[in-house]
Structure 1
Amino acid sequence: MKVTINFICFFLSLIFFSCSRGKELPKPFGHLRLAYAEPRFSNFEKPCAFKFQVADFSQIKNKERNCSFDIYYPRLKATIYLTYEPINQNLNALIDDAEKSVYEPHTSRASYIKPQLIIRPNEKVYGTLYELGGNAALNYQFHLTDSTQHFLRGALYFNAYPNPDSLAPAKDYMLKNIQHLMETLEWK
């Protein structure tokens, strides 16, 4: 009987002490799951040559130049920089400048640049939306014009390191806001 008790004690101690904990590893770094509420839009009207709708939670910041604005989204730390230029027989130069600001500085960092034409003939709104993928600092840029008097250019930047995986939900959300701005743009 004494042998069996010793054997059971030995066996239990062997099980208890043999299950040593291995090296504990830290949890891998993860990204937060970002879920954004559906935006409610309101009209943005200033004494400018255009009007459009923006999300209610965005903040409009005036620049020194007339009718050029920054639309800041504090929850996303994102800004759409808008620049308005009247056309004075310089439409080709304005379009060339807008395209250069997409392709020249970002070709080396962007994994792709995808242009999408915007054509709304009833409202006389024409332009291009550029999506830049990869590690480019610029995510979206667009320009809109009526081809005779008005030219509006916009660019979206996040105040964050350009990590495409972690910015993907915010980038998709901001694309919807930019598309809504372009769909509701009207020239005065």
Structure 2
Amino acid sequence: MMNKLMLLFSVLFLFVACKDESIPKPYGNVRLEYAEANYIDFKTECSYTFEYSDRAQKKPKDSLCAYDLYYPKLKATIYLTYEEIGEEGIVSLIRDAEKAVYEPHTTKAEYIEPKLIVRPNEKVYGTLYALGGESAMNYQFHVTDSTKNFLRGAVYFRSHPKPDSLSPALDYIRKDVEHLMETIRWK
């Protein structure tokens, strides 16, 4: 009788103790870490030169002195467009550059943060625009010598613009864009 009672308690204990409780796990993203960039000279026949990351691939475009800097691991591209300042003057070029930042992105961007670049000794003047939120473009910039040369750039990622998951890549590419703007020289 005692054995049967022990067997009954053992079986009941197993059913009560082995209750399968599922605990929800939080959603997470893969942690992205990128190697430190080494910078190399951007050499062309154009009126400008700068240093860019060795992680990027330089690809010429059809128009004169326009290039793409493609980052395969980041799935990002910096699109560079060069223009000589003509009769229309620098004001219209800057107005067009600002229009490309503010007009299409004000509905999706949570903020647009301009950062001025002024290096009078090298005759480099420009603005870097950081666009926050779910904007298709994350950075846009322009640099000029104010008399002859005007270089415009825009950064796009080939992915859905989710600020949280793109944050490490955005920080990485921002350093490269700032380095490009800090090292640009006119020929």
Give TM-score scaled by structure 1 length.
0.94
Bigger drift between 122-131 and 25-34 goes to 25-34
> Deviation digits for residues 31-82 of structure 1, max 9, x if unmatched?
1100000011110110000000111121111111110100000010000000
Q: Which residue of 2 aligns with 1:177?
A: 176
Distance 1:77 1:27 in 2: 29
Trace 1:93-108 onto structure 2 (pairs within 5 A).
93-108=92-107
What is the DSSP-based 3-state SS (H/G/I as helix, E as strand, rest coil) of the residue aligned with 1:32? coil
Distance 1:85 1:125 in 2: 15
What is the DSSP-based 3-state SS (H/G/I as helix, E as strand, rest coil) of the residue aligned with 1:122? helix
Distance 1:27 1:79 in 2: 35
Structure 1 unaligned blocks of 5 or more:
none
Tell me the matched-pair count: 185
What is the DSSP-based 3-state SS (H/G/I as helix, E as strand, rest coil) of the residue aligned with 1:148? coil
Please, which of 72, 78, 84 is the counterpart of residue 80 of structure 1?
A: 78
Aligned AA (1:52)? F
Q: Which residue of 2 aligns with 1:111?
A: 110
Distance 2:66 2:23 in 1: 51
Aligned AA (2:50)? F
Q: Which residue of 1 aligns with 2:121?
A: 122
Deviation at 1:27, TM superposition (A): 4.9
Structure 2 unaligned blocks of 5 or more:
none
Runs of 4+ with >6 A deviation: none
Deviation at 1:12, TM superposition (A): 1.6
Bigger drift between 134-143 and 24-33 goes to 24-33
Bigger drift between 28-37 and 129-138 goes to 28-37
Q: Which residue of 2 aligns with 1:53?
A: 51
Identity rate, percent = 55
Give TM-score scaled by structure 2 length.
0.95
Distance 2:125 2:34 in 1: 30
What is the DSSP-based 3-state SS (H/G/I as helix, E as strand, rest coil) of the residue aligned with 1:45? coil
Q: Which residue of 1 aligns with 2:32?
A: 34
Deviation at 1:30, TM superposition (A): 2.2
Deviation at 1:14, TM superposition (A): 1.1
